[in-house]
Chain A
Amino acid sequence: MMKLLSVLFKKEVLDASRDKRSVMAGLYYAIGTPIIMCLLFSVMLKQFASAEDLKITIKNPEQAPNLVQYLESKEIVHGTGEDVKDIVLEISDDFAVKMSEGRPATVTVIADKSNDKLRKSISRLERSLARYNSEVAGLRLLARGVDPTLMRAVDVQVHDQATPDSKGGMFLGIATLSIVLTLFYAAMNLAIDTSAGERERNSIALLLSHPISTLQIVLAKSGAIATFSMLGLALILVVSKFAYGMVPWEQLGFSVNLSIEFMLFCFVIGLPIALMSASLQVFVSFMAKSFKEAQTYVTMVLFVPMGLSMVTTYDIATDVVQWLPIAAQQYAMIEFIKGNDIPVAQLALSTLVTLGLFGVLSYLSSRMLKSEKVVFGL
């Protein structure tokens, strides 16, 4: 039994490893994804970081050198050239006079408020102007011997509870999503080739006529596919380690650092997923009559694990979902990186369910291979 299984397994691995196109497709995914993610993260982090200079048109600056200086300290400056925003700050001609008399001096903001692209910049200018306003007002009160805090009836304090960890949550989610999905995408073409492809090439009948059970055939095929998935997993972990090392995390006060322990952890919890994913793809591909048909079905079916993984990534309904296979494993991976306790119960249950699915799907595939309808398409 074991001897035949190993003969079958070796043949599958040899055959698959020579299928350069399919192997390369898997490698491209494992190498490419972390690099794309790395670029994407860098761009996103830049957006989070402090805003750039806001260049606007300031008319009559000589009337209010103080105000202009204050705005400059807030990085709002008069500019010329292409990157000047279509916002005009007009300082009235009698600004200096009114200011010195202690009467309201007029500034006019001229801009199109319906323009979405300008909205953020306009409110930034307005906020700065309001702050300047209250600062000058405070100074005036002080000069008249009045405590400026009288003007502050309510003292609003905001405690931002976001820790660097939780800010990094989404990034971690996406990073682990790409790692989990490798187990489904890295060996997809190989899985289709070894099942639907075998039918299309008319080689399945001869294989089935030999003194081996259909379950042995299915297990050997799944085993070979899982081997390549695990290879993809190892590769994406190594590439991720280096790629994420280059993302400027310091702007977030948090870093996604894939330690060796984490990589080993992923490898261990990834194995059952790889087996399940392989048996799922073999099962779906055997239902199809041709390679192309199988590609369509497999791609469709893979939306399910992707959905489960997404749900974890975006932290939706965590209480329920974290017990489901794939979602739970990914959740455990995120907790591991964060340095939190690993949800052992959820992980154990979902791993058992994953292995259970592997068993059921393998059994169903082996049943299917006994059907003459499937083998000969009768």
Chain B
Amino acid sequence: MISVNNLEKKIGSVKAMNNLSFTAQNGKITGLLGPNGAGKTTCLRTVFGLLKADSGNAEIDGIDVAKEPMAAKQKLGLFPDPCGLYERLTPREYIQFYAELSGMETDAAKAATQDVLSKLKMDDIADRRCQGFSQGQHMKTALAQAIVHKPTNIILDEPTRGLDVMSTRILRELLLMLKEQGHCVLFSSHVMQEVAALCDHVVVMAKGQVVAEGSPAELCERTGKESLEEAFIELIGSDEGIAA
């Protein structure tokens, strides 16, 4: 479970987070939806402890990230944006490296790496160096790294960017599977179809604030619109920054 409580942060003169609060439950996929510049990435970076909030806190399974970063980070799997790979390593080495960093023993990490490689259908590129990977292969490698150690909580920052249809489907199935297994999945996106198809709970953000939250159906109902896209525009009050 990930909970964000009254987060505030100013970056320069911009208020990136303005009293931001929401909760992502275990066994559910929570989508963070907002236009570009709404503060999604800032919020996620605060959750994984890379940014310090001016006030408020973020908790992972009840552990305050700012106070006990090591314990909190152990319960997290991450897919950041942007996510640079080590181009001279192969996906297998890369994924195993992060599995071991997350605390797995070498043998277990090796087995888990093979497991996730087959799950994501990456066997053909597993032993090729990451240099020159296509966007899709790049994203898959980064994604595999996020879930290899089977963390309770998984945070993905715009995971579908650059993925082709096949990969998007794989990602979707994967997220649903993680949800079945009782993981807490939190991802940010500005792609409506993605969010509508996957999320149990949607948190709509604009200008660093939560504008509305609820299931996609609830949001449509509340705004009296047919689609999530229409509902979203109604909620944030403009159609600025939407990529569909």
Contacts and interface: CB of A to CB of B under 8 A. Distances in A.
Nearest to A216: B101
Interface stretch (A65-73, A205-213, A286-294, A312-320): A205-213
B78 A209 contact: yes
Contacts of B142: 206
Q: Assign chain B's interface to a size class.
A: 20 to 34
A201 interface: yes
Contacts, number: 76
Contacts of A212: 101
B243 interface: no
A198 B83 CA distance: 11
B2 to A, nearest CB: 14
Contact of B89 (A4, A8, A15, A375): A15
A211 B51 contact: no
A209 B51 contact: no
A205 B80 CA distance: 8
Interface stretch (B69-77, B110-118, B200-208, B210-218): B69-77
B80 A206 contact: yes
B88 A18 contact: yes
Contact of B84 (A8, A18, A202): A202
A378 B42 CA distance: 11
A308 B84 CA distance: 39
A375 B46 CA distance: 13
A208 B87 CA distance: 18
A112 interface: no
Contact of B88 (A4, A7, A19, A375): A19
Contacts of B78: 206, 209
A238 to B, nearest CB: 27
A11 interface: yes
Nearest to B49: A209
B50 A209 contact: yes
- B12, B87, B100, B142: which has the most chain A beta carbons within 10 Å? B100
Interface string B86-105: 11110001000110111100
B146 to A, nearest CB: 9
- B51, B86, B93, B142: which has the most chain A beta carbons within 10 Å? B86
Nearest to B9: A372
Contact of B74 (A3, A198, A211, A376): A211
Interface in A331-378: 372, 375-376, 378
Contacts of A18: 88-89, 129
A375 B49 CA distance: 12
Nearest to A209: B48
B98 A15 contact: no
B86 A15 contact: yes
A111 B79 CA distance: 83
A212 B101 CA distance: 7
Nearest to B83: A206
B85 A11 contact: no
Contact of A7 (B71, B80, B100): B100
A14 B101 contact: no
Nearest to B76: A209
A202 B102 contact: no
Contacts of A15: 86, 88-89
Contact of A210 (B12, B73, B88, B129): B73
Contacts of A202: 82-84
B148 to A, nearest CB: 12
Contacts of B83: 202-203, 205-206
Given A372-B50, A378-B11, A211 B73 contact: yes
6 contacts: A201-B84, A203-B86, A205-B50, A209-B78, A210-B73, A372-B52
Given A8-B101, A202-B83, A372-B51, 17 more contacts: A4-B100, A11-B97, A15-B89, A201-B85, A202-B82, A202-B84, A203-B85, A205-B80, A209-B48, A209-B76, A210-B98, A210-B102, A211-B74, A375-B50, A376-B45, A376-B50, A378-B12
Q: Which 4 A-B pairs have the closest CB atoms?
A: A203-B84, A202-B84, A201-B84, A18-B88
